[in-house]
Amino acid sequence: MLKDLRNFKESLLFAVCLLVSGYSNASNGDDVPRIILALGRLHPLILHLPIGALLLTFFLDIVGRIRKNYPKQIIKYALGFSSLFSIMACVFGYFLSLEDGYSGKTLDIHFWTGILSATLITLLFLLCDKENKQLKRLFFPLFVGTIVSISVAGHYGSVLTRGDNFLTEYIKAPPKLQTIEHIDSLNMYDNVVLKIFDDKCTQCHNTTKRKGDLALISKESLLEGGESGDVISLGNSRESLLYKHIMLPISDEDHMPPEGKPQLTKDELWLIKYWLDNSGEVDNKVVAIAKNDTLNKLLKKYLVFEEKHIEEAALGAIQDVEDEGFLVRKLVPTEPELWVKYNNKVIAKEAVKTLVDLKDQIVELDLSNTSLTDDMTSGLRKLKNLEKLELNNTQITDKALKHLKHLKALKILNLVGNDISEQGLENLLTSITPEHVYAWKTKIDQRLAQKLSNDFDVKINSGVTGFVETTQLKVPFMVTKKALFVDTISIKLDSKLRNTKIFYTLNGDEPDTTALQYTKPIMLDTNATIAVKAFKKGWNPSETLKRDFYKVNHKVSDYTITHQPEKQYPGSDKLFDLELGTLNFKDDKWTGFLGNDINTVIDLGAVKPVTKIAVDCLGQPKQWILFPTAVEVYASNNKASGFKRIGTMKTNKDNTNDMPLIERFFVEIPKTEARYYKVVVKNPKVLPKGHEGEGNASWIFVSEIMFW
Amino acid sequence: MEELSQHFINNNRRHFLKKMGLGIGGIAAASLLDPFSSVAGSNPADELALKLPHFAPKAKRVIYLFQSGGPSQLELFDYKPLLDKLRGEDLPDSVRNGQRLTGMTSGQDKFPLVGSNFKFDQYGQSRAWVSSLMPYTAKVVDELCFIKSMHTEAINHDPAITFFQTGSQQAGRPSMGSWMSYGLGSLNENLPTFTVLLSRGTGRPFSQPLYSRLWGNGFLSSLHQGVQFRSGKDPVLYLKDPEGMSRSERRKMLDHINELNQKQEAEFGDPEINSRIAQYEMAYRMQTSVPDTMNIDDEPEHIIQMYGMDALTPGTYAANCLLARRMVERDVRFVQLYHMGWDQHFDLPSQIEKQAKDIDQATAALIMDLKQRGLLEDTLVIWGGEFGRTNYSQGVLTETNYGRDHHPKCFTMFMAGGGVKPGFTYGETDDFGYNIVKDPVHVHDLQATVMHLMGVDHTKFTYKHQGRRFRLTDVSGHVVHDLLS
C-alpha cells in the first residue's frame, strides 16, 4: 500500500516535470484553460501548508533527538503531508505563473527553488525510515538544507507579490521625506506622478511583476507602454490609456487599480490629469503657479514642503532703506520677499548697513553700477535668504567674495566688470554653489571659467567669443545731402566710428589707402564723382560709396507754370531748389502732376547761353506714377510769345518696372542764347492697357529741372 | 441765476461721484508709482493695485522685437522641401481648405507653390532649422525657443498688429506694455516703464506706417502709454527746456504747478490730474536720464562690432537693439521695438535679403549681450511679426523671383531668456507650410504665456471699463506650459 502510494507520487512528480517542460516554452495566459488558471489562484492557499508542516516536523525532530524519544511515525506522516502539498504548491504555482504579468529572474528563482524544496521534502520522506547508518547521518543536514531551500523559495515568492522592498522597508533607514522649497520648478513627473505610481500602481506594475506588460517605475518604462501599446498621450489625458483605465467605474473589469487594492484619491486623479494635459514631455516642470491655484493647493496637501517662514518686513525698516536711496519692491505683493536696488551711482557704507534690517526679506539685491567697495560688503553676509545678487560694475575685489560665503541660498551672482580673480571665485565656490555666475570682464577668461564650471558644477559665463569674426566697416555717412550746386559745395563725411580713416577719389576711381585722405570737408567747384571708402585696423574696409555732384550754371528763381501740381505733392518751387528726390515719392522733394503736362516758363533774368537741360523723374507704375513720354524745350526772348522749339527728348520708357526708379532725362541743346526758356514735360495722360488702373489719369513726378 | 445754481448742482454731483468712484482709480495709479508711499498704505484701493504679480515672475523685463509687415516664415525658419519639389504647381484645395485670402491675391486664378530661394540648414545642439538669410541667428539658436505654430485671426496689417499688441483687432484697448506698466509698475524712477523704438527696414523702405495708438494706453491712465524714443536730436519730444531756462528754474516752476494741480485734484478728484503731476515729475527726471540712455559714446568698440556698424546710425534696427539693452539695463520694464518693411508681396527674394540683413546680427547680438551681462536671466526677448506669408507666389513666379501674400494660419516666432526653454522648438506645420499639424499657439496664448512669465495670471488681471472687465487676452488664451523652462 505504502509502496503503491510511493510509486504514484513518483509518477505524479514525473508527470508534473513533463507538464512543466511541455509548457515552459509556452505562451501567455490566453490559451491556457480557465480551469488551470483557477487552480493557479489556489497556489497562495496551498503553499503555506507544507511550510508550516515542515517547520513543525523539524521542531519535533529536534525535540525527539534531545528527549531521546524520537517519534518516527509522526515524522513520517508529517513529511508525507508536506511532500504532497509541496508538490501541489509547485503545480499550482506553475499554473499561476501562466497568468500574465509574471516573468523575469525572480520568478525563475522562485520556480526552481520551489521545485527543489518539494524534491527535498519528498527525499526526506523517503529517507526518514531507512535504517542504513550512512543515510541516517545524511538525514539531518538534508533537513536543514530543505528548510533553507524553502525559505529562499518563500522569500522570492513574497518578492513576486509584494515587491522587493516589502521585507526590508521598515528595517532600512526611513526614506527622506520629499521636501521641496518652492512649488515653482517642481517636476510634475519626478515629484508627484512617480510618487502616486509608487503608492498605488508599482506593486503590480514593476519590472519583476509586469502586469499587462506595463511597468510604471521609471520614465523609460512608462514610455515603453504595455501590451496595448502606449499608455500615455502627452497633452491629452482623454487619449491616454492609463487615464482611461483609472477613470473606469470600479465595477469594470479593466478598472485600475483592481477592486480591493488601494484606490486613487480624487486629488491624485486630478494631479494625473493635470500632468497629462499640461505636458509636452514627461518631465515638464511646473512653473509659477498662483497661490490660490488648484494645483498649488493640491500639491501643498500632497507633498511635504519645507516651509520657509519669513516675517513681513516692518514698514519702518523699508522706509529707512528707501531713505538711503534704495528702491524696494515686493516680488509678490502677498509675500514678504523683497527685491532691492540701489538707485544712484555713489553708495555709502551706512546705506548698505541699513539692509541688515531687511536681512530675512531681501531675496534679490541689485547693487550694480555703484561705487560699492570691499569694505562695504561685510553686512551682505547676513542676507541669508538672498537668491540673486548683482554686483556688476562696482569696485569690489576678491576680498568682498569672502563675505558672500555665507549666502547659502544664492542662485545667481553677477560679478561682471569687477576685479575678480580665479582664486577668489574658486574660494567662494568651495563654500556655496550658486547655479549661475556671471564673470564677463573679470580676470577669469573663457578657459578658467570652463575649468571652474567643471570643477564645481556651476554655470560660469565669461562673455561671448567667436560671435563676430571680422566685421566690415560701414560706408562713411555722407552728411551733405545736396548733389547739385551752383558755385561751390562743401562735402562732409562721417565715419561714425572713432579712429577710422576715410579715403576718397574725385573721379570715381576705387579709393585705396594711397588715395586722398579725408580730414576736413571736401570743397568742389566743378562736376565730380566722389568715391569714398573707410579703413580701420582690425576691421574689413567698407564698401565704396559713389556719389555724383553736378554743378549747374543757373539757379532758377523766377518762373511761371501753367498747371499747378496736385495739392498732395505740391510746391512747384521744389522743381528748382537743387534738391533731388529719393525713391520715396512721399519724401517732400517730389512734385506730382495728375493727367497734366508740366509747362513752365523760366526767366533767367538776362539773355544767357544754355547747352543742356535735365529733368529728374520718378517711375513707379504700381503707384500709378509713369515716366513722361517726352521733354521739350523752347526758347524766346519774349516772356509771352515767340517760343521756338530748340530741343526734344523722347523718353521711350515702357513703364513696366516693379520697383520705383529715378531717371534723369537730358535734353541736348544746340547752343542757344535767350532770356526765357520753356520746358514741357509730357504726361502720358492715361494709364496704359493692362495696368490695373487702365484708362485713369496717370501721374508724373518730377523733383528737379536743371540748366547748364 | 438758474444756470448758475444748476452749475453748482452738477458740479457737486460730479464731485461726489468722482470722490466715491473714479477717485479710487487715481489713488491706485499714484500708488503704482510707489507701492510703499503713505497714500498707498492707507487706502483700500491699493488692494487692487498691489495684488500683482500673482506669483514670482521669471521675467522682470521684456524686449519685444516686433517685425512689422509679416516676415516670411518660409524664407527664415520653417523649412519645407516639399514646396521646392512642387514649385509652380497649384495649391491643392484640400490644403487651402477654404481659407480666405486678401484682396491682393483673391483675384489670382492660380496659386503656384514656391519654396524658399535660400538654403536651409540645422544649427547648434538643438539642431534648429535656420536659413542662410540669418547667419548670426543661426549661431545663437541654442538660446532660442522657436514657436513654429503661431496663428492669428486677422489677415491685414493694422488689425493684425493691433491684435498682437492689444488682444483685439479693433483699436482702442491698451497695448501689452501699457497693461504691464499698469499691473506691475515701474522698476526705476527715472525712465518710463514702457518705451517704444521704431526703425524702417531696407527691404521695403516705403511700407505701411505705424500708428502711435499701437502703444497707446487705451482706457488705462495715460501714465501707462508707451513713450516713443526718436532717433533725431530730441529723442523724446518736448523734453528740453527752452533756451535760457535753468534746471532750478524749471524745478521751481514745476513745484508751483504741482501745488496748483494738487489743489485742483483735492477739489475735483479727477485721476488724470494725478497722472499729470506724475508725468511732469517723470519728464523732469527724464531731462537727465534720457540723454544718458541715448548716448552710446561709452559703448566699447567690441560691442559695436557685435551689433554691427549700423548700431552707430541712429534710427536703425541695430541702434535700437543697442538702446533696448541700455534701457533694460536701466530697468525699463517693457521695451517695444518695431522694424517695418517685412511686407514683401513682390520681389520677395531680393527684399527679404536686405531686410534680414537689417535685423539678423543685431537681434543675435542683443541676445548674447544680454546673456553675458546676466540680464537674459530675467529679461524676455520676443521676436516676431503679425502674421506669416503664403506658401504660393503672389504675382508671377519666375526662375528667381516671386512674392508672398499675408498668411494668418501659421508663422514662426521665437523668444529667448526670461523663463522660456532655450534651444527648443515647439509646434509643427504641414509639409506644405500652410496649416498647423501640432501644438497650435494662438496670439492670445502667446500673450497669456508672456504675462505668465511676468508673474501675472492673465485671467485674473482685468480692468473694469464702461461696465465690463477687460483683459489683454479678452476671453480666451491658455498659457503654453511647454515653453516654460
Cell 500500500, residue located:
A1
| Mean pLDDT across A571-580 | 80
Verify whether the Cβ–Cβ distance B368 to A467 is below 8 Å. Answer: yes
Q: Which of B36, B53, B304 lies nearest to residue A497, judging by beta carbons? A: B304
Average pLDDT over residues B232-237: 85
Say whether pLDDT at B56 is over 80.
yes
> Number of residue pairs across A and B with CB atoms under 8 Å?
141
Measured in angstroms, the CA of A100 and the nearest CA of chain B are apart by 37
Q: Does A343 touch chain B (CB under 8 A)?
A: yes
Residue B276: pLDDT band (50, 70, 90) is confident
Name every chain A residue with its beta carbon within 8 A of the beta carbon of B360. none
Looking at the structure, do residues B202 and B318 belong to the same domain, yes or no?
yes
| Helix, coil or strand: residue B313 | coil
Q: Hey, are the CB atoms on B377 and A412 less than 8 Å from each other?
A: yes
Please tell me if residue A65 touches chain B, with a CB cutoff of 8 Å: no
B246 Cβ neighbours under 8 A, 6+ residues apart:
none
The CATH number of the domain holding residue B146 is 3.40.720.10
Contacting residues for B263 by C-beta, under 8 A, at least 6 apart: none
- pLDDT given for residue B29 in this prediction: 44
pLDDT given for residue A377 in this prediction: 92
Tell me: the pLDDT tens digits for A24-45? 444 444 567 888 888 888 888 8
Whether the per-residue pLDDT at B24 is higher than 80: the answer is: no
Q: State the Cα–Cα distance between residues A636 and B120, nearest whole angstrom.
A: 66
Q: Is the pLDDT of residue A9 over 50?
A: no
Nearest to A217 by CA among A197, A245, A244, A240: A197
Averaged confidence pLDDT in chain B: 88
CA distance A471 to chain B (A): 6
Residue B73 domain flag:
yes
B217, B104: one domain: yes
Does residue B136 belong to the interface with chain A, where contact is any CB pair within 8 Å?
yes
The span from the CA of B473 to the CA of B470, in Å, is 8
Say yes or no for a CB contact (<8 Å) between B36 and A291: no
Residue B293 domain-assigned (yes or no): no
Residues B323 and B431 in one domain: yes
pLDDT at A183: 63
**A257-271, A402-416, B7-21: segment of lowest average pLDDT:** B7-21
Residue B247 half-sphere exposure toward CB, CA atoms < 13 A: 7
Return the pLDDT at A12.
47
Please tell me which residue of chain B has the smallest CA distance to A236: B439
Gap between the Cα atoms of B328 and A245, Å rounded = 51
| B281 touching A (Cβ < 8 Å) | no
Whether the per-residue pLDDT at A594 is higher than 70: the answer is yes
B40 within domain boundaries: yes
Average pLDDT for B400-422: 95
Q: What is the DSSP letter of B232?
A: S
For the segment B187-196, the average pLDDT, to the nearest whole number, is 91
Q: Are residues B321 and B180 in the same domain?
A: yes
In a domain, B343, yes or no: yes
**Nearest CB neighbour to B36, from listed A318, A461, A658:** A318
User: Are B236 and B377 in a shared domain?
Assistant: yes
Model confidence at A165: pLDDT above 80? no
As given in the structure block, the three cell numbers for residue A466 are 567667436
Per-residue pLDDT, A352 = 93
Query: Which residues on A lie below 8 Å from B372 (Cβ)?
Result: 416, 438, 440, 461, 463-464
Contact B313 A288 (CB under 8 A): no
Same domain (yes/no): B82, B193: yes
Using a pLDDT cut of 70, give the percent of chain A over it.
Answer: 90
**CA atoms within 13 A of residue A654's CA, in its CB half-sphere:** 4
Q: Does B189 touch chain A (CB under 8 A)?
A: yes
Residue B234 touches chain A, beta carbons under 8 Å: no
Interface contact flag, B306 A468, Cβ < 8 Å: yes
Is A470 part of the contact surface with chain B (CB cutoff 8 Å)?
Answer: no
B353 has a pLDDT exceeding 70: yes
Residue B309: which of A337, A464, A496 has the nearest Cβ?
A496
Please check the confidence at residue A290 and state whether its pLDDT lies above 70: no
Alpha helices in A326-456 (DSSP H): 349-354, 398-403, 422-431, 446-456
Percent of chain A with pLDDT over 90: 41
On whether the CB atoms of residues A79 and A57 are closer than 8 A, the answer is yes
Question: Is A693 at the interface with chain B, CB within 8 A?
Answer: no
Domain housing B23: 1-51
Residues of A whose CB is below 8 A from B439: 235, 280
No. of H helices and E strands in chain A?
16, 27
DSSP secondary structure of B38-67:
HHHHH-TTHHHHT--SSS--S-SEEEEEEE
B residues 82..101 contacting A (CB < 8 A): none
Give yes or no for B21 touching A (CB within 8 A): no
Per the structure block, which three cell numbers stand in for A697? 489719369
Count of structural domains, chain B: 2
A659 Cβ under 8 Å from any chain B Cβ: yes
How confident is residue A282, by pLDDT bands cut at 50, 70 and 90? confident
- Residues near A587 by beta carbon (within 8 Å), at least 6 away in sequence: A581
Cell numbers found for residue A318: 523699508
* Minimal C-alpha gap between B159 and chain A (Å): 23
Any idea which of A1-15, A25-39, B78-92 has the lowest mean pLDDT? A1-15
pLDDT at B47 over 50: no
Q: State chain A's mean pLDDT as an integer.
A: 85
Alpha helices by DSSP H, listed for A558-652, are: none
Strand locations in B153-230, DSSP E? 194-200, 227-229
CB-closest option in A287, A329, A440 to B484? A287
Q: Which amino acid is at B66?
A: F
- Contact of A514 with chain B, judged by CB distance below 8 Å, is answered with no
A496 touches chain B (CB under 8 A): yes
Q: Which residues of A touch B363 (CB under 8 A)?
A: none
Domain A477-551: give its CATH code: 2.60.40
Backbone angles phi, psi at A305, to 5 degrees: -100, 140
What band does A4 get if pLDDT is binned at 50, 70 and 90?
low
B131 with B218, same domain: the answer is yes
Residue of B nearest to A388 (CA): B377
Contacts of residue A230, defined as CB under 8 A and 6 or more positions apart, other chains included, come to: A223, A241
**Of B51, B69, B88, at which residue does a domain stop?**
B51
Per-residue pLDDT tens for A203-252? 888 877 788 888 888 888 888 888 888 888 888 888 888 898 888 888 88
| B306 burial type by CB count under 10 A (0-12 exposed, 13-18 middle, 19+ buried) | buried
Considering the domain boundaries, does residue B431 fall inside one? yes
For an interface test with A, the pick among B142, B202, B309 (most A C-beta atoms closer than 10 Å) comes out as B309
pLDDT at B13: 52
Please name which of A446, A440, A495, A485 lies closest in space to residue A466, comparing C-alpha atoms: A446
Decide if pLDDT at B36 tops 50: no
- The alpha carbon of residue B218 is apart from the nearest alpha carbon of chain A, in Å, by 26
Cβ-based contacts of B365 with chain A (< 8 Å): 467-468
| pLDDT band, residue B71 (cuts 50/70/90) | very high
Which residue did the predictor score with more confidence, B446 or A6? B446
The verdict on A685 touching B (C-beta cutoff 8 Å) is no
Same domain membership, residue B37 and residue B139: no
Residue A305: what pLDDT?
61
Tell the CATH topology of A558-707.
Jelly Rolls (2.60.120)
Side chain identity at residue B175, one-letter code:
S
Residue A702 near residue A615, CB atoms below 8 Å: yes
pLDDT in tens, A174-214: 655 555 666 666 778 887 888 888 888 888 888 777 888 88
Is B438 near chain A, with CB under 8 Å?
no
Closest to A467 (Cβ–Cβ): which among B57, B139, B439? B139
Distance from CA of B258 to the nearest CA of A (A): 22
Query: A315-461, what's its fold?
Result: 3.80.10
Q: What is the pLDDT of residues A430-467, one digit of tens each?
A: 999 899 999 999 999 999 999 999 999 899 999 888 88
Q: Do B481 and A278 touch (CB under 8 A)?
A: yes
Q: Are residues B178 and B89 in the same domain?
A: yes
Q: What pLDDT, on the 0 to 100 scale, is given for residue B43?
A: 36
**pLDDT surpassing 70 at residue A2:** no
Distance in angstroms (rounded) separating the CA atoms of residues A288 and B56 = 6
So what's the pLDDT on residue A671?
A: 84
Min Cα–Cα distance to chain A from B306, Å: 6
